[in-house]
Structure 1
Amino acid sequence: MPATLKAGDMVCGYNIIGLLGQGGFSQIYKAHSPDGTHVILKFPDVSMLGDQATYERFRREVAIGQKLDHPAIPHTISFIEGPDSVFLVMEYIEGPSLREYITEKAPLPIKEGLLLADQLAEAIDYLHSHGVCHRDLKPENIIVGPDNSIHILDFGSALLEGSRRVTWRWASNAFGTPDYMAPEQIQGKRGDVRTDVYALGMIVYEMLAGALPFEGDNVLAVMNQHLTGVPVSLCSFQPSIPAGIEAVIMKSIRRDPDERYRSASAFKKDLDNYADLDLSQFQSNPEAAVSGGVLTNHQIWVRTILVFVGFLALVVLIVLAAYLMHHH
């Protein structure tokens, strides 16, 4: 398979329409299937085809896709291993990404933001109830359908209960998007249900505020904010946001996982009933340390730099593997 496919190319009977997106691990195309319907084809990056961890990610994504049956989760149709290519075939959903939606429309009216948040929380709770943690929730991985329906994509980083661990620690744990990564992910931990709740809170915050609570000039600065910073109040961006809504969202993005909602359904329940909440129950020390004890600024920077060094090591390994493959 060439590094990039173009419109009109045929792959195992699928007619390529065009490139939809490209990430660190894959390329995603829109295509006509042999039966004439539109589908998504997801290919691993060509330089990583020989890597066992990449193959495992794809196999896991197939297992997760075939395990789930929910309107907010596009169906995984098949996993094809052709003579020159390996790819996933998935249901195609028409519509912009939530990133495009936020860029164009945020801050969203409260009613619209809550409707999208409800759908997201319900879908995430469905995943969790089926033993799946997504671990890379972000607006780029969410499609807003024609009827404002939410669809969650990309389970390449997801953790399936009972599955064996992918061997490349940095790829499986800390290869998320810094803006939505929970502190425990930044510290290199696997993450769990509360990690997805953190990302959910960040996404809902951004939809309603039109901005994120942490900012930085680079990846390291953003990571450090998640580990040490106090998030900017939602009401500082949008004073009209009811106190109950702000309380729910700010609880979901607390540093310590034990202080967050323990499920997406608990988050949704409080968000739905924000006007009736006892706000005294939401008081928390904003300077509370990360789970595991108080860290000094020096320790935090060391941990953050270790994540960055691990990422660079991963890139070097990928380049080296690609070089060795092409010279054998």
Structure 2
Amino acid sequence: MKKMPQLGDEVKMELANKYYKINKKLGDGTQGQVYEVEKDGCKLALKWYKPNKATIKQRKMIRELIRIGAPCSRFLWPLDLAVSDKIAGFGYIMDLRAENYKSISELVARRVEPSFKVLCTIAYQLADSYRQLHSRGYCYRDINFNNIFFDPQTGDILICDNDNVGIDGVSEASVLGTQRFMAPEVVRGEKKPSTNTDLFSLAVLLFYIFINNHPLHGKKESQIRCFDLPAMKKIYGEEPVFIFDPQDSSNQPDPREHKNALLSWPLYPQFVKKLFIQSFTKGLNNPNQRVREGQWRKIMLRLRDSIFYCAHCGAENFFDPAKMSVERPGQCWNCKQQLELPYRINIDDAIENTVMLTHEAKLYPHHLKSTSKRDFSQPLAEVVQHPRDPSIWGLKNLDNKKWRVTTKASQIKEVEPGKSVVLASGVEINFGNRYGQIIY
């Protein structure tokens, strides 16, 4: 009997009772190998466990995951158990990842450089996906940048390696995680992976996405000659210090070793930095102080809405209400020229609900309606340019009901679906459930 599958072999789906042929090998990991399989033109992915990983416990875990189903479509979840009379062990079938998706590790290595808007979308979807997983009572256990893939154009994500998911606080963990993403209490051997440790790993992953540096890799890490297991335990578990800890400068970024961190950190608004500081100061050793998925979701949507473009070089910048105004817009991080703030709309008189009205801005149901659903497929408003006068911009009604608009001169008019209101400071729009004020 073969130890591992070979090209041309067939494996049987246990529940569907169908045979799939192995076309090619896609990858090799510590637990098993991944292949493309096909039947009647339908292509799927197969993960086959190596002999020492094909345990009874793992088989039971896969069957349970198949039974409960994926928390959402972003998870490349086990669909069926795969077996063979000619190959030792077993595997499982999952959807095949599209070829245009790249791994977060490629992003960190700068082999792909998506826009800030895409980064915000990746971060939002990550927080939302793990929130859905955790709300069902499960933990992921091994969040890291090797098992997350994304579309560089849209920011849509796919999460793989879901065969280690287990019931929080109940299922025995077959893996402890990836060292640099583990919570300090797991590194020290005090706790097993859980929802709380997932929250720490998620914060590390988000920090990598935006800052391109580990949150604990500062001067202390650069002074270590051999970064072996004892050194890792010290940095990640015994003496962890955030590189931007406002109260402790002992582990600040080294200007020679951590240039990415020093260049990236100043780019982001204070409302984002605040969550990272909480995650890696209070949240380092107090799981109850870690930032929840819902908090990350809200902040990443706000960060996405705060993007605007430099009028000189076109680079994306972030609006930071803590330090920016029309009188003091600051400088573009890219060309160092003075920024020009565009019109923006403030929803329900809340500064955290500010959307920059750039040339491509759109407002969605979560902006204009009382809903917790975040759906970017159907905008309810968009910024448009006047067809005859390119110097005039407006906000077009894409909803199916009228808006009630009050001008700065207190004139009231209705804007029918398909019509626009000219962008001007002081204009107020009643969208029905919510209202907005345009600011310049």
TM-score by length of 2: 0.54
The one-letter code matched in structure 1 to 2:236 is H
Find the residue that maps to 1:255 and give its secondary structure. helix
Instruction: Tell me how far 1:197 sits from its aligned partner.
Output: 1.6
State yes or no: 1:177 paired with 2:182: no
Q: In the comparison of the two structures, how many residue pairs are matched?
A: 267
> Residue 113 of structure 1 contacts residue 207 of structure 1 at CA under 8 Å; is this kept in 2?
yes
Instruction: Tell me how far 1:125 sits from its aligned partner.
Output: 0.7
Q: 1:62 to 1:87 in 2, by over 3 A?
A: same
* More deviation, 186-195/89-98: 186-195
State yes or no: 1:258 paired with 2:288: yes
Q: Which runs of 5+ in 1 are unaligned?
A: 278-328
Instruction: Tell me how far 1:109 sits from its aligned partner.
Output: 4.7
> Residue 140 of structure 2 contacts residue 162 of structure 2 at CA under 8 Å; is this kept in 1?
yes
Whose Rg is larger? 2
Instruction: Tell me how far 1:156 sits from its aligned partner.
Output: 2.7
Q: Identity rate of aligned residues, in percent?
A: 22
> Residue 116 of structure 1 contacts residue 150 of structure 1 at CA under 8 Å; is this kept in 2?
yes
Q: 1:107 to 1:232 in 2, by over 3 A?
A: farther
Q: 1:112 to 1:165 in 2, by over 3 A?
A: closer
Q: Deviations 1:22-72 (Å, cap 9, x if unpaired)?
A: 33222222221x2322211111212333x3333344334434xx4325121
State yes or no: 1:112 paired with 2:112: no
What are the equivalent positions in structure 2 for 1:64-103 lying under 5 Å apart?
Answer: 66-83=68-85, 84=87, 85-94=89-98, 95-103=101-109
**1:131 and 1:272 mapped to 2: Cα distance?**
25
Q: 1:108 to 1:223 in 2, by over 3 A?
A: farther
Instruction: Tell me how far 1:151 sits from its aligned partner.
Output: 1.1
What are the equivalent positions in structure 2 for 1:130-145 lying under 5 Å apart?
Answer: 130-145=136-151
Which of 289, 294, 299 is equivalent to 1:270?
Answer: 299
Instruction: Tell me how far 1:106 sits from its aligned partner.
Output: 6.9
Q: Deviations 1:215-274 (Å, cap 9, x if unpaired)?
A: 45234322321221212129634122222212212323431212212x311222234346
- Larger proportion of helix: 1
State yes or no: 1:41 paired with 2:51: no
> Residue 184 of structure 2 contacts residue 240 of structure 2 at CA under 8 Å; is this kept in 1?
no
Which of 264, 272, 280 is equivalent to 1:245?
Answer: 272
> Residue 248 of structure 1 contacts residue 271 of structure 1 at CA under 8 Å; is this kept in 2?
no
> Residue 34 of structure 2 contacts residue 48 of structure 2 at CA under 8 Å; is this kept in 1?
yes
Query: Who is 1:236 aligned against?
Result: 262
**1:9 and 1:220 mapped to 2: Cα distance?**
44
Give the number of the structure with larger relative contact order, counting CA–CA contacts within 8 Å between residues 6 or more apart: 1
**1:181 and 1:230 mapped to 2: Cα distance?**
14
Which of 150, 158, 166 is equivalent to 2:157?
Answer: 150
- Larger proportion of strand: 2
Query: Who is 1:211 aligned against?
Result: 213
Instruction: Tell me how far 1:179 sits from its aligned partner.
Output: 1.4
Q: 1:15 to 1:102 in 2, by over 3 A?
A: farther
Q: 1:103 to 1:124 in 2, by over 3 A?
A: same
Q: CA RMSD in A?
A: 2.8
Find the residue that maps to 2:91 and give its secondary structure. strand
Instruction: Tell me how far 1:209 sits from its aligned partner.
Output: 1.5
Q: 1:29 to 1:101 in 2, by over 3 A?
A: farther
The one-letter code matched in structure 1 to 2:90 is V
Q: 1:210 to 1:109 in 2, by over 3 A?
A: farther
**2:20 and 2:106 mapped to 1: Cα distance?**
27
The one-letter code matched in structure 2 to 1:229 is P
Find the residue that maps to 2:192 and give its secondary structure. coil
Which of 198, 201, 205 is equivalent to 1:199?
Answer: 201
**1:243 and 1:206 mapped to 2: Cα distance?**
17
**1:133 and 1:242 mapped to 2: Cα distance?**
30
> Residue 181 of structure 2 contacts residue 204 of structure 2 at CA under 8 Å; is this kept in 1?
yes
Find the residue that maps to 1:223 and give its secondary structure. helix
